[in-house]
């Protein structure tokens, strides 16, 4: 595709619109050829900004962003690094960094960090990470139970005890079919959802993604891919998908990406991972709230 577009542009330069600035987010998902192609629309003297997090290498493309490849795209020198993590609760950053150390490859690992000064400032904002190990049983019914627990429990915060608004809860899953089954079970309990699932209709799936509104007064249910780039103060993550050897790094990057969507707030942040992968059980045990379902 990039090669074909390059040929068209070279043959018909009058068709190009030029821009004073080109800003690319989620740059780890871009191939060098796409980055170079975009540069052809940059006006003379314009600015091109590319932002990437190699730890979120969910498509297996981050390794292509080598110094040589970036030089060929017009970027020279070392990357500028963001030294501070501003979204994730300070108490959760060590757990996220441990996951990256254990399960992400060395060459696609950018560890989240937080300064001591910022950590002291944010430590008063409560965070409730919870790991529920379900191996070898299915996870969907456990995810349902965790959504109900969050929606009905009285949760202590730094200043008060509150009911978490159900509209704050987001559930992310690996597959659309898992998501549809969860939505069916939630609706049967009288819990209305907004979701992005239409596995047999790509046009409808696209429409649902466009209509997916984080401010909706319903529980949000979507895939990790669709939630990438968004954030929530109350997350339930369903980790229930096969991890074949060839795709293991990308699957682990997906789980990391999902957990990194947690957002700190003065009223607390809540994250539950429901997992049926035995190889991740020992990691889950380092979480302050670790639970095994009775069948485990």
Q: Choose the final residue of a domain: 72, 92, 117.
A: 72
Among 53, 131, 128, 132, CA closest to 91: 128
The answer on 67 and 191 residing in a single domain is no
Q: Is residue 281 part of a domain?
A: yes
The DSSP code for 274 is E
Residue 6 within any structural domain of the chain: yes
pTM: 0.83
Where in the sequence is the domain holding 226, given as residue range(s)?
127-292
Within 10 A of 129 (CB to CB), how many other CB atoms are there?
21
In a domain, 112, yes or no: no
Domains contained in the chain, number: 2
104 found inside a domain: no
66 and 143 assigned to the same domain: no
CA–CA–CA angle 180, 184, 189 (5° rounding): 145
Residues 175 and 28 in one domain: no
| Sign of the C-alpha dihedral computed for residues 283, 104, 170 and 189 taken in this order | negative
Neighbours of 117 (CB within 10 A): 9
21 with 159, same domain: the answer is no
Name the domain boundary from 57, 72, 87.
72
Residues 168 and 248 in one domain: yes
pLDDT at 159: 56
Quote the tokens at residue 7. Answer: 């040929």
Claim to verify: residue 49 and residue 181 sit in the same structural domain: no
Q: Is residue 32 a part of any domain in this protein?
A: yes
User: Does residue 52 form part of some domain?
Assistant: yes
Asked if the structure places residue 193 within a domain, the reply is yes
CA distances from 247 to 24, 35, 196 (A): 26, 24, 24
**Do 24 and 151 lie in a common domain?**
no
The answer on 68 and 199 residing in a single domain is no
Contact present, 84 and 44 (Cβ < 8 Å): no
Same domain, yes or no, for 131 and 229?
A: yes
Helix or strand run (H / E) with residue 286: none
For residue 188, the model assigns a pLDDT of: 93
Domain ends where: 52, 72, 92?
Answer: 72
Residues 180 and 283 in one domain: yes
Q: Positive or negative, the Cα torsion across 248, 229, 181, 163?
A: positive
Domain containing residue 219: CATH number: 3.40.50.300
**Which pLDDT value is given to residue 244?**
62
pLDDT by 10s per residue, the chain, length 296: 777 777 777 777 777 889 999 999 988 999 998 998 898 899 999 999 999 888 888 888 888 888 888 888 888 888 888 777 778 898 899 999 999 999 998 888 888 877 777 666 666 678 899 999 997 777 888 999 999 999 887 665 555 556 788 889 999 998 888 889 999 999 999 998 998 888 777 787 778 777 777 677 889 999 988 888 889 999 999 998 666 665 688 889 999 999 999 998 888 899 999 998 888 999 999 999 999 986 54
Tell me if 212 is assigned to some domain: yes
| Residue 13, number of CB atoms within 10 A of its CB | 9
DSSP E strands in the chain: the ranges are: 19-24, 42-50, 127-133, 154-156, 161-163, 169-173, 193-195, 219-223, 234-239, 269-275, 289-292
For residues 187 and 66, membership in a common domain is answered with no
Q: Beta 161-163 vs 154-156: how paired, if at all? A: antiparallel
Q: Say what the pLDDT of residue 47 is.
A: 94
d(CA 282, CA 141): 22
263 shares a domain with 161: yes
């Amino acid at each position: 595709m990039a090669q074909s577009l390059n040929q068209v542009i070279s043959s018909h330069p009058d068709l190009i619109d030029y821009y004073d600035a080109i800003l690319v987010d989620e740059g780890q998902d871009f191939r060098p050829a796409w980055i170079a192609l975009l540069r052809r629309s940059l006006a003379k003297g314009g600015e091109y900004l590319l932002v990437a997090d190699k730890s979120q290498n969910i498509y297996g493309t981050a390794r292509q962003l080598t110094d040589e490849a970036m030089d060929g795209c017009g970027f020279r020198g070392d990357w500028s690094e963001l030294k501070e993590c501003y979204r994730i609760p300070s108490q959760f950053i060590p757990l996220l960094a441990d996951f990256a150390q254990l399960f992400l490859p060395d060459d696609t690992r950018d560890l989240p960090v937080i300064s001591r000064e910022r950590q002291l400032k944010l430590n008063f904002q409560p965070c409730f990470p919870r790991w529920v190990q379900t191996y070898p049983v299915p996870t969907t019914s456990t995810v349902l139970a965790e959504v109900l627990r969050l929606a009905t429990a009285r949760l202590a915060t730094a200043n008060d005890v509150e009911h978490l608004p159900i509209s704050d809860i987001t559930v992310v899953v690996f597959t659309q079919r898992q998501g549809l089954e969860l939505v069916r079970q939630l609706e049967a309990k009288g819990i209305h959802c907004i979701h992005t699932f239409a596995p047999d209709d790509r046009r409808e799936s696209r429409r649902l993604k466009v209509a997916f509104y984080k401010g909706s007064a319903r529980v949000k249910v979507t895939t990790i891919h669709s939630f990438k780039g968004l954030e929530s103060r109350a997350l339930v993550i369903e980790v229930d998908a096969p991890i074949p050897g060839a795709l293991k790094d990308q699957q682990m990057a997906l789980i990391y990406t999902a957990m990194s969507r947690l957002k700190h707030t003065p009223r607390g942040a809540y994250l539950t991972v429901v997992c049926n992968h035995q190889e991740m059980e020992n990691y889950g045990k380092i979480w302050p709230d670790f639970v095994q379902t009775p069948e485990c």
